[in-house]
């Protein structure tokens, strides 16, 4: 809940939307131009809200929120029994 609060405070102060298409944060990555079913939640979380899907990770290292598995940039086939959430490397994520 603290993370959601912090990204909405940022939105209030800067106008930067808390929910953004990948292309908004990764304008130099042309693959993101055609992805319409993944989004960033703040600067730290990539959300891919379909359980069995192919997920694209922009340049960075990403950690599965539930399993802590590490993903590098690129496409991956993801199967999960939860909504897939990935944490971007080198961010502080308040979770309390």
46 and 86 in contact (C-beta within 8 Å)?
yes
Cβ partners under 8 Å of residue 69, min gap 6? 63
CATH number of the domain to which 80 belongs: 2.60.40.1180
Structure confidence by residue, pLDDT tens digits, 26-63: 999 999 999 999 999 999 999 998 778 899 999 999 99
Per-residue pLDDT at 82 exceeds 90? no
pLDDT value at position 83? 83
Domain hosting 64: range is 2-88
Question: What domain count does the chain have?
Answer: 1
Phi, psi angle pair for 31, to nearest 5°: -60, -35
* pLDDT value at 96 more than 80: no
Whole-number pLDDT of residue 46: 94
Can you give the pLDDT at residue 35?
Answer: 94
Residue 19's beta-bridge partner residues? 41
Q: b/e for 17-42, b at 16 or more Cβ within 10 A?
A: ebeebbbebbeeeeebeebeebbbeb
Domain for residue 96, yes or no? no
36 is a domain residue: yes
Reported pTM: 0.72
């Amino acid at each position: 809940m603290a993370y959601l609060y912090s990204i909405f405070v940022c939105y209030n102060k800067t106008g930067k939307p808390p929910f953004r298409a990948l292309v908004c944060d990764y304008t130099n990555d042309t693959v993101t131009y055609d992805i319409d079913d993944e989004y960033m939640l703040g600067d730290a979380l990539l959300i891919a809200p379909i359980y069995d899907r192919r997920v694209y990770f922009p340049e960075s290292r990403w950690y599965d929120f539930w399993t802590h598995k590490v993903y590098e940039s690129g496409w991956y086939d993801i199967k999960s029994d939860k909504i897939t959430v990935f944490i971007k490397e080198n961010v502080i994520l308040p979770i309390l």
